[in-house]
Amino acid sequence: MKMVKVIGSVTSTIKDDSLKGVKLLFVQMVNIDLTERNDFYIAIDTVGLGEGELGLIATGSTAKRTDITKDRNIDAAIVAKVERIDLENINHIV
Amino acid sequence: MKMVKVIGSVTSTIKDDSLKGVKLLFVQMVNIDLTERNDFYIAIDTVGLGEGELGLIATGSTAKRTDITKDRNIDAAIVAKVERIDLENINHIV
Amino acid sequence: MKMVKVIGSVTSTIKDDSLKGVKLLFVQMVNIDLTERNDFYIAIDTVGLGEGELGLIATGSTAKRTDITKDRNIDAAIVAKVERIDLENINHIV
Amino acid sequence: MKMVKVIGSVTSTIKDDSLKGVKLLFVQMVNIDLTERNDFYIAIDTVGLGEGELGLIATGSTAKRTDITKDRNIDAAIVAKVERIDLENINHIV
Amino acid sequence: MKMVKVIGSVTSTIKDDSLKGVKLLFVQMVNIDLTERNDFYIAIDTVGLGEGELGLIATGSTAKRTDITKDRNIDAAIVAKVERIDLENINHIV
């Protein structure tokens, strides 16, 4: 999985039927020191993240295996909220 | 999914049989501020996008799960039209 | 799919049995203005491309879904010949 | 597979049910000379690696094929501990 | 597939059971002029390559379709030895 920060959302009414009823979040890849990378995904949220919060995204066929994303034609889903990061001698409380 | 802008189309008469009857759109990856990235895909359109419009593409095996792309040998499909982007305190009406 | 140009071929007699009887083409990724990128694949040709011609490659599990590549252990196949590219106000006859 | 170094862990209580009961390790890609790359994954550990140790990660659908990761919605798993690297005339005992 | 050069091997005794009995080769991506790229994989060899020899790797789910890699939790396998490269007007006997 990759660590991402929620930075916004996308509105789409014209879309594949399988995408109805889920929120499309705009997420940005972040580094371990929480600085931002110039890489973005639009992902389905399965854990209820708010803007500015950190999560983990699964991409590829895995993204459509969760209870919420099953049978949806997506390739990126947020599968966990990041609450704390422990790096060797540094602890980040997110 | 990744956000893309439709920039053109590709004509191909010599192709895998499974690609017959669908339009091959040339799409360019875009950043959140809608500036263009130097990264391109040729994707099957499932939502009726016109040139210059923004959409979301799904890549990999997911691309061939929609009603329109089922059983087609493709690895990129436009699955949603982007109508509005909401970023923290900035709203983009596309 | 990604747009590529055929630049050569690879000869291999020691290979997985499933690769026997198909041609391994050396292809180079190209930009929309047909300039070359520093990125290469070895792909199975399913449409009969010659050197210097443009095609579309499908990568990943999709590559082995065509009639020609079925049951072959490959991850890249040329699935279409590019005959014409239409970009907003510019038409390229390839 | 790619070679990675364990640099920490991630705590998440709000996550997909399938991620319960496994440790989420923060891993960093490394070069052959063990210098670090600016590329990170959060991976499930299947071999018991400690911080600073080297392992191999499998990504994509393969990641959920091990006995430990079966039926978990993940796209990265550590599948081997790297104990020794042999390069042409140089042997690294890790 | 991508063209790689074998540069060494990895020893691992603590690994997923499915990886037992196969050799883990360290391979480096190479350009068409055989210069080296700063990109590496650890791949299962299915064709008997020695150090310094060139091969083709298949990545992703395809890697575990060969007779040798079946049911192994890997995402990269060498599926062909490169014996000769023909580029437009240049022939490389490897």
E41 has a chain D CB within 8 A of its CB: yes
Span E37-44, average pLDDT = 97
- The residue ranges of every structural domain in chain B are 2-93
> Does domain B2-93 correspond to CATH entry 3.30.470.20?
no
Chain D residue closest in CA terms to A77: D73
C67 has a chain B CB within 8 A of its CB: yes
> What is the distance between the alpha carbons of residues E82 and E80, in angstroms, rounded to a whole number?
6
> What is the distance between the alpha carbons of residues A63 and B63, in angstroms, rounded to a whole number?
13
| Residues sharing a CB contact under 8 Å with residue A64, sequence separation 6 or more, in sequence order | A70, A71, A72, A73, A74, A75, A77, B62
What residues in E contact C66, CB-CB < 8 Å? none
pLDDT in tens, E47-78: 999 999 999 999 999 999 999 999 999 999 99
Structure tokens that stand for C11 in this block = 């000869």
pLDDT in tens, A52-83: 999 999 999 999 999 999 999 999 999 999 99
pLDDT in tens, D16-45: 999 999 999 999 999 988 999 999 999 999
* pTM of the shown model: 0.94
pLDDT in tens, B50-80: 999 999 999 999 999 999 999 999 999 999 9
CB D63 within 8 Å of CB D85: no
> Smallest Cβ distance to E73: which of D58, D83, D88?
D58
User: With 80 as the cut, is the pLDDT of residue E94 above it?
Assistant: no
Contact D12 A82 (CB under 8 A): yes
pLDDT in tens, D69-78: 999 999 999 9
pLDDT in tens, C37-62: 999 999 999 999 999 999 999 999 99
User: With 80 as the cut, is the pLDDT of residue E30 above it?
Assistant: yes
> What is the distance between the alpha carbons of residues C8 and E82, in angstroms, rounded to a whole number?
13
Q: Residue D7: enclosing H or E segment and its boundaries?
A: strand D2-11
Contact B31 A43 (CB under 8 A): no
pLDDT at position A62 = 92
